[in-house]
Structure formats: structure tokens, C-alpha cells
Amino acid sequence: MANLKEIRNRITSISSTMQITSAMKMVSAAKLKKAQDAITAMRPYAEKLTELLQNLSATLEGDVGGEFTTQREVKKVLLVAITSNRGLCGAFNSNVIKEAKSRSEYYAGKQVDVFAIGKKGNDILSKTLKVIDNQSTIFDHLSFDNVAAIADTLTQKFVTGEYDRIELIYNQFKNAATQVVLTEQFLPLAPIKSDKAVSTGDYIFEPSKEEIVLTLIPKALKTQLFKGIRDSFASEHGARMTAMHKATDNATELRDQLKLTYNKARQAAITNEILEIVGGAEALKG
């Protein structure tokens, strides 16, 4: 059994750790509320934009997507891995990294590169895959304009033929305790089809439905990437809040166990001292 000083030091160390994890939990909880409100407010817009694009495209004949829907033989693939800049958030980052490695194995025999958004993904994936860029500073000033610039870069890489397929890998936010890893095809655009009935109202389109669709596609791509990053940002704080909550609970349980062990050891030490005193007194009497 460890001596009393060692147990006291462990209790002090665990108590300090509890203060840190508890503070991190509260910080993530505060940030989660803002991030959750942002993604919740954005989803209806993104869904309506997709619905509008589907309704317009369903009434057109032929390929109206232009260079964004060009289907080429897949030889070069770009995986956009969206992670965080910091750890201590459970399996949040490792799940995305695991999925990126799984996709690279799926495209075995083809050129597979990574476009990292987040420091953690860049640090780990760069050891096994080629990371062509790392946009870890995007979370410092997360705005649509900054994300749109990244979307333009990705679009340009596809349009120029540098890559034949681009996929997004990120955590979709469900709630504070649940995040789902998604892999979405970014480019080329999949054939736009809608299971819902297409609106057949008497509308006048200016300048034309074709031009409207071609204008909406870049907007939809930027919105898709922004929604993915927003989802990941909210998921990060949810995962960190949950992880720190569990860490605080575990530290509390361990501290209580150590206090019990300390009290037992202290009682044993006092008992031994009393026995020694009594034994000494008896020896003097003899």
C-alpha cells in the first residue's frame, strides 16, 4: 500500500485535474449553444436551396450542370477531412481520420490526396497520406466568405481536371452526445433528382431556368461546405463537453476512492502507533 504522502499527492493532483476538466466542460457548453443555434438556423436554408435546385433541374432536359457535373474516370481523388484544432473531445477527430483512411483504401490503386481543415487531421493524416493543404485557421474566423474561398479552390481543382472526384468527410451534429461521421460527394455533382412532385405552376423565369441553375450550383457548393464545417464545429464542442463531463465524473470517483484508501491507511498507522506505545509501556512494567 502506498504511504500517506503519496496518496495525498495523488488526491491533490486529481483535484486539480477535476478543476480543469470541469472548466473545459463549461466553456464547451457555452460555445455549443452558439454553434448549435448557427447550424440549426442554417439547415432550413440549405435544404430549401437544394429543393429549389432540384425542382428547376427536374424540369430541364439534358445536362444543365455544365463543368460541375462532368463525370470522368476516377483516377485522382481529393478527400476533404474536417477535424478540429484541439483534442480532448473523445473520438471526434479519430472517427474522421479513420474514415479518411478507409476511403483511401477504397480507392486503392488511385491517387488519393487530402485537403485538411483542422490541425488534428493534418498532423495525423500527413504521416500516411499526402496532404496538399491545411486550412486550420478557418475556425478562428468562421464565416461564409472565408469558407466560400475554400470552396472556390476545391471547385477549381475539379474543373481544371486536377482531381476527378472530391469528397467531404466530417461529423454531422445530432445532439451534444451524438455525432455521425458522414462522407458526402462534393464534386462532380450527382444527377439531381427529386422524389417529390415537381412544381408545375405558371412561372416566368428571368433570365432563364438554365442560367438560374448554373448560378445556383456554385452557391449550393459553397453552402454545402459551409454547412459541413458548421456541423463539425458544433459536433466538436458537443463531443468535448461530453468527454469532459465523463472525465470529471471519473476523476470524482477516483478521488473518493483515494480518500477512502487514505483514511484506512491513516487509521492503520494510528493503530500501529498505539500498539507500539502500549507494547513499550508493558515492556517497561516488565
Q: CA nearest 192: which of 8, 46, 62?
A: 62
54-72 per-position pLDDT tens digit: 677 666 655 566 678 788 8
CA distance 230 to 105: 27
What pLDDT is stored for residue 226 in this prediction?
95
Q: Are residues 15 and 46 in the same domain?
A: no
pLDDT in tens, 129-169: 999 999 999 998 899 999 999 999 999 999 999 999 999 99
Check which CATH number belongs to the domain holding 258 and give it.
1.10.287.80
The answer to whether residue 55 is domain-embedded is: yes
C-beta separation of 151 from 221 below 8 A: yes
The verdict on residue 28 lying in a domain is: no
Element (H or E) spanning 100, and its range? Answer: helix 92-106
SS3 call for 73: coil
Q: Which one from 7, 77, 89, 100 is the annotated catalytic residue? A: 89
Return the SS3 of 111.
strand
Q: Based on the fold, state whether residues 159 and 281 are members of the same structural domain.
A: no
Structural domain that includes position 180: 33-241
89 an active-site residue? yes
280 and 226 inside one domain: no
